[in-house]
């Protein structure tokens, strides 16, 4: 099972998959999306410093395109935090739930499928090139 903080790791720019956008609300569809709701919260401890991250679902985007954001987002969208507090209460009462491990696994599976598709495209391109070269010879 995937670690629940798998997507909180600070990646260098050349380690970020092409499917990830640098600006969380600027997705690969070329549109800017507003935050819709918070799905989960994680407190990550690094040495002696603890940082809180929120998994944000973006409007008109699939859940699997959600991203981890810092609390700075609430400066611009304070209602988001208010709604999150209500959601936390609903979860405490058993009226709502979110499976973070299942979410992380689904994102990992999606990433693996993307890598496989890219590998297949490269392989097809290489085979096509080889077939072209053998026809010329």
CATH number of the domain where residue 76 is located: 2.40.50.40
Q: Terminus-to-terminus CA distance in the chain, angstroms?
A: 51
Sheet containing 35-46, strands listed edge to edge, beginning at the edge strand earlier in sequence: 35-46, 49-58, 67-70
Question: 1-24, pLDDT tens digit by residue?
Answer: 444 444 444 433 333 344 443 344
Could you tell me if 104 and 4 are in contact, meaning their C-beta atoms sit under 8 angstroms apart?
yes
In a domain, 13, yes or no: yes
User: Is it the case that residue 32 has pLDDT exceeding 90?
Assistant: no
pLDDT confidence band for 137 (50 / 70 / 90): low
In a domain, 31, yes or no: yes
Residue 75, token pair as written in the block: 């400066």
Domain total of the chain = 1
Quick one: average pLDDT of 101-110? 94
pLDDT confidence band for 28 (50 / 70 / 90): low
Q: What is the per-residue pLDDT for 27?
A: 54
In a domain, 114, yes or no: yes
Question: 50-99, pLDDT tens digit by residue?
Answer: 999 999 999 999 999 999 999 888 899 999 999 999 999 999 999 999 99
In a domain, 1, yes or no: no
Residue written as tokens 């600027």? 26
- Expressed as residue numbers, the domain containing 34 is 6-136
């Amino acid at each position: 099972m995937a670690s629940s903080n798998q997507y909180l790791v600070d990646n260098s720019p050349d380690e970020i998959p092409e499917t990830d956008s640098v600006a969380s609300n600027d997705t690969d569809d070329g549109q800017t999306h507003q935050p819709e709701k918070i799905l989960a919260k994680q407190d990550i401890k690094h040495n002696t410093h603890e940082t809180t991250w929120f998994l944000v679902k973006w409007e008109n985007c699939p859940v699997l395109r959600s991203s981890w954001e810092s609390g700075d987002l609430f400066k611009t969208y304070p209602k988001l935090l208010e709604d999150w507090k209500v959601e936390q209460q609903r979860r405490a009462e058993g009226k709502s739930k979110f499976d973070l491990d299942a979410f992380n696994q689904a994102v990992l599976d999606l990433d693996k499928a993307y890598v496989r598709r890219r590998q297949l495209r490269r392989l097809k391109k290489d085979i096509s090139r080889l077939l072209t070269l053998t026809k010329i010879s």
